[in-house]
Amino acid sequence: MIDFKLTEEQELVRKLAHDFAVNEMRPVARYYDETEEFPWPIVEKAHELGLLNSVIPEEYGGVGADRVTETLIAEELFYGCAGMGTSLMANNLALTPIVIAGTEEQKERFLTPFTEEPLMASFALTEPEAGSDAAGIRTRAVRDGDYYIINGTKQFITNGSVASLYTVFATLDPSLRHKGIIALVVPRDTPGISIGKKEHKMGQRASDTAQVVFEDVRVPVANRLGEEGEGFKIAMKTLDNSRAGIAACAVGIARAAYDDARKYALERKQFGQPIANFQAIQFMLADMAIKIETARLAVWYAAWRADQGLPHTKESSIAKAYATDMAMEVTTDAVQIFGGYGYTREFMVEKYMRDAKLMQIYEGTNQIQRLVIARHILKELM
């Protein structure tokens, strides 16, 4: 049977995240967007409330949230502010490879500190010349006894300059493509790591995006997740989990824009009456509601399949592509409903629209999601 009723615990977590988004994130969202400062006070409060690192299992001191609960948190945090939300959710992305592929000892060593203090982590896969083609990474790992020596540059790394831990994907031999890739956990204080260019972005400006450079960085073999050659699959499995979360984040941004547009349509008067009286506006609002509700269903379905241990690669990509395209449409329409005012910084809708654009790009562009979906649906007939 299908049951959309959330558990009592899920309802509580959802409310906790919603209140945090409205009371703590929203009042400072414009400030961090304009200054591009890293929102440490928000990170600290989120950590105190258990809204950071929700993927860490209970046995390592975390809350061990299931995937559905994670999407509830993600939607609410992005309802608060997408930039700050990305900073917070990127920790889950970076720690998931350890959760899914780490040994007991590695989990204890790397995850536990994150439950004790508000630390940041980064998922370091993308490179200047390897974005969509993740198997084409060039960061080299050369074995030297009990160590790997890492050399290379990682690009567009969320939390890159503030992280205390990186999950790094490197290749033992680029000619082997995905079969040569390893996943390594690399603490920030390892000699040879430096921060390159910090990006100034169109939106999500409260999140930190930087180049991370590895020069002769010696990483113990004991920090490798899984076996040699398993790194690519660890990255793909991680993204299978995180993409439904990204879709939930997009629902959160769209909901924020929709709420503001609905309220504005009832207040703004033209031709002697609220613009909400006009069918042109009503239909736009109705379309927003249709899109938000259907996107959330796709998100919950993908997350539910993950929680059931069912294959969910295709469903996560469907949710990611659909919800993030939806957020772009809804936020653009929200600006339209605000008219000229929507294009100014007096209202938040312009920020939602800028923030939404990144959702179609990161964690796999929506073209890559369609490629993943196409490969699955065609294979189903073979």
State how far the Cα of 297 lies from the Cα of 303, in Å rounded to an integer: 10
Told to check if 46 binds ligand CAA by CB under 6 A, we report no
Rounded to a whole number of angstroms, the minimum distance from the CB of residue 176 to ligand CAA is 10
Site string for ligand CAA, 5-44 (x = CB under 6 A): ----------------------------------------
Single residue of 232, 258, 301, 322 touching ligand CAA by CB under 6 A: 232
Per 3-state DSSP, the chain is made up of helix, strand and coil in percentages (nearest 5) of 60, 15, 25
Single residue of 218, 233, 268, 376 touching ligand CAA by CB under 6 A: 233
116 carries an active-site annotation: no
All residues at 6 or more sequence positions from 318 whose CB lies less than 8 Å from its CB, including other chains: 298, 302, 369, 373
State how far the Cα of 326 lies from the Cα of 62, in Å rounded to an integer: 32
Structure tokens at 276: 């909400």
Q: Judged by CB under 6 A, how many residues of this single chain contact ligand CAA?
A: 24
State how far the Cα of 203 lies from the Cα of 143, in Å rounded to an integer: 40
Catalytic residue among 8, 350, 363, 380: 363
Please say which residue, 134 or 244, places its beta carbon nearer to ligand CAA. Answer: 134
All residues at 6 or more sequence positions from 266 whose CB lies less than 8 Å from its CB, including other chains: 274, 276
Looking up tokens 């490629």 gives: 371
Site string for ligand CAA, 95-134 (x = CB under 6 A): ----------------------------x-xx-----xxx
All residues at 6 or more sequence positions from 10 whose CB lies less than 8 Å from its CB, including other chains: 68, 69, 72
Site string for ligand CAA, 174-203 (x = CB under 6 A): ----x-------------------------
Q: Which residues bind ligand CAA (CB under 6 A)?
A: 90, 93, 123, 125-126, 132-135, 158, 178, 232-233, 236-237, 239-240, 313, 362-364, 368, 371-372
Catalytic residues: 363
